[in-house]
Chains A and B, each alone.
Chain A
């Protein structure tokens, strides 16, 4: 079952894998991003149009730009902005029990 542009959920093995290269990342009930290759950088890494937060707010809110890649083929799964202390967002959590049923 495809659950995202670059992610498959194997309904028999209950695992999540990369659709580009087939690399198995984790169990289906886990956060795939915890098992991805994560690159963390300043907000300005999001592109030339981005400004340093301190320039706009007068203070640094410790925001960062996180990108999540397949640890095997390097395709970009997704990104998120977060404060340094924010946990990695578990943004896709398919109900494994409903699949089993």
Chain B
């Protein structure tokens, strides 16, 4: 660790790169950097609300600029980006409404830049830093952060940042998910924060170095321009606000936004008793070809106003499945935002003031360098979010003030499908299939989840139309449908997942990489109910699909197609040949409450909508239908069947404490 002549050391950079950057409460910032720390508390309510929503709008427009300038489907369909507005010392003022987990993590980027770039090369007006280092503050390497300071009268006033998932940023697999990686050296090389724009001028050397990482430098170059444009538009808008209201007032509003979030968070958790809540889930395979099961454990201890997360019992980091400290930290926001701070415009920084993370380094949910982390931003983070939901929803169950806020865990699994090859025009293509967005949305304490409701932490994330995918890629869809029996059964059932079925079109083959988790057991379990269905990918190889097309027949179910059916493990690589039919299933979410307490009429409705099968209706819900054309509920037979199921439950059980 270097010490300069003014006593500035920064953080221990090489320890950060090894274990993950954990900022101290007091940052070590070079004294030559002047911070704008003054603000006024004398702000009337109307001015506060006007400015609060102006700041929100400025931040959201930041995201719209990204979307408009970027040419990437990941941006305009997947909305796989987010803008962030932060104070001078990196506390988040506003998350954008896109992939929200990109925002709390931007805080780590800013704090690291303040500690380690404030002396050399320095932080100046018009600068932009880029970074995708998961050990500093990224979920995985494809999520690239562009971070800019805003100065007022020579003082650092605030920070803005945006994060955009890149099409390809290098590594041995196209798309930069490398589920087969043994360590980070097989993945894209992490870039710690470096200055890419200096005094408003793009550094060509840095931009070329960055583009040189990618198989698709033109696309990455377009996104580079989009990310710079987003920041520069936002810089102008923040300066306009300061000119209109004054720096002290704008800063005062920022401070109050965070204080309000802290107050709301404390009001809610103070209703809860102290205690410890625990969760355990599994990761299937650390990398492609690995068929072992890895355990992930989480403990949440509430003591007064403090929540502490530990991960005692979690497996060691191996393969490509791992998540760094930064990823785990930001995952917490995915539970706090929608369940506790929705009325605070999702401002989580007030909550983070009362959250401690004491996880063990060298584990799958706190990975040490050089373990593989390229799948961390999709698989381990989703597993961590599920664990966090598991413990937090159980904690929220212990108070009337928080119980109704429960949403059963939204991410039962994730199936990331990377496809590459030659497209229908003879050009190379590569993509992450965004059918992944078609996951179920969790149940509430008084209502069902939403079928194919989308990914909870990405409120504006869209599922592309089939026609969009067919236009952009050499694919022909046979169907998409809500997946039967994928919704977790319960008094209030979870949201069901989605089946997608397609074949290659006007191409010989599609190279396919499945990077998934939650395929054997889902990662979520709801409360007092059944889990949602796991992810699934399967093909019928050498199918008779061409003959069916000649007969003007489009199958409505992959099981109708003749050929060799193969069901894949959650992590797999294979080639989908020209007549191989492939189907993927996005997961459903868990339910809330005992399915034997569900209104039988709702079960009938689900049966008619093909959300629930007759088998599940009878064996899990205990609902019996009259054998007539109208399919009505037989009330007496249902009552009898439910009594029979309860007797069976008890007859087949033992009491562990008495064993």
Bound Cα distance from A69 to B484, whole angstroms: 26
Contact B653 A98 (CB under 8 A): no
Contact of A95 among B274, B585, B597 (CB under 8 A): B274
Name the distance in Å between B244's Cβ and chain A's nearest Cβ: 49
Contact of B653 among A39, A56, A75, A79 (CB under 8 A): A39
Name which of B73-81, B227-235, B317-325, B522-530 contacts chain A: B522-530
* B403 on the A face (CB < 8 A): yes
Contact B649 A37 (CB under 8 A): yes
Bound Cα distance from A49 to B520, whole angstroms: 11
Contact of B655 among A37, A63, A79 (CB under 8 A): A37
Cβ contacts under 8 Å, B636 to chain A: none
Interface residues in B624-659 by Cβ distance below 8 A to A read: 646-647, 649-650, 652-657
Q: Is the interface of A mostly helix, strand, loop or mixed?
A: mixed
Contact A86 B655 (CB under 8 A): no
Contact A49 B530 (CB under 8 A): no
Number of A residues near B (Cβ < 8 Å) is 54
Name the distance in Å between A18's Cβ and chain B's nearest Cβ: 11
* B389 on the A face (CB < 8 A): no
Contact A5 B398 (CB under 8 A): no
Question: Do A49 and B534 form a contact, CB below 8 Å, given A5-B592, A43-B521, A99-B273?
Answer: yes
**Which residue of B is nearest A88, CB measured?**
B656
Contact B657 A78 (CB under 8 A): no
Bound Cα distance from A38 to B595, whole angstroms: 17
Contact A74 B649 (CB under 8 A): yes
Name which of B88-96, B154-162, B348-356, B613-621 contacts chain A: B613-621
Contact B394 A92 (CB under 8 A): yes
Bound Cα distance from A57 to B325, whole angstroms: 29
Name which of B201-209, B278-286, B362-370 contacts chain A: B278-286
Cβ contacts under 8 Å, B519 to chain A: 56
Give a binary string over B171-193; 1 marks a CB under 8 Å from any A CB, 0 the rest: 00000000000000000000000
Contact B282 A69 (CB under 8 A): no
Cβ contacts under 8 Å, B438 to chain A: none
Name the distance in Å between A87's Cβ and chain B's nearest Cβ: 10
Contact A91 B278 (CB under 8 A): yes
* B376 on the A face (CB < 8 A): no
Contact B531 A37 (CB under 8 A): no
Cβ contacts under 8 Å, A78 to chain B: 525, 527-528
Cβ contacts under 8 Å, A69 to chain B: 649-650, 653
Contact A76 B528 (CB under 8 A): yes
**Which residue of A is nearest B525, CB measured?**
A79
**Which residue of B is nearest A32, CB measured?**
B657
Contact B534 A50 (CB under 8 A): yes
Bound Cα distance from A53 to B484, whole angstroms: 20
**Which residue of B is nearest A75, CB measured?**
B594
Contact A63 B530 (CB under 8 A): no
Contact of A38 among B275, B520, B534, B656 (CB under 8 A): B656
Contact B521 A37 (CB under 8 A): no
Give a binary string over A14-37; 1 marks a CB under 8 Å from any B CB, 0 the rest: 000000000000100000011111
Cβ contacts under 8 Å, A50 to chain B: 533-534
Contact A4 B527 (CB under 8 A): yes
Contact A4 B397 (CB under 8 A): yes
Additional pairs, 13, CB under 8 Å, beyond known A3-B397, A4-B394 = A1-B273, A3-B273, A36-B656, A37-B653, A38-B655, A46-B521, A56-B567, A56-B570, A74-B650, A77-B528, A78-B525, A91-B277, A98-B274
Q: 8 pairs across A/B with beta carbons < 8 Å?
A: A34-B655, A47-B489, A47-B533, A49-B483, A53-B521, A56-B569, A71-B655, A95-B276
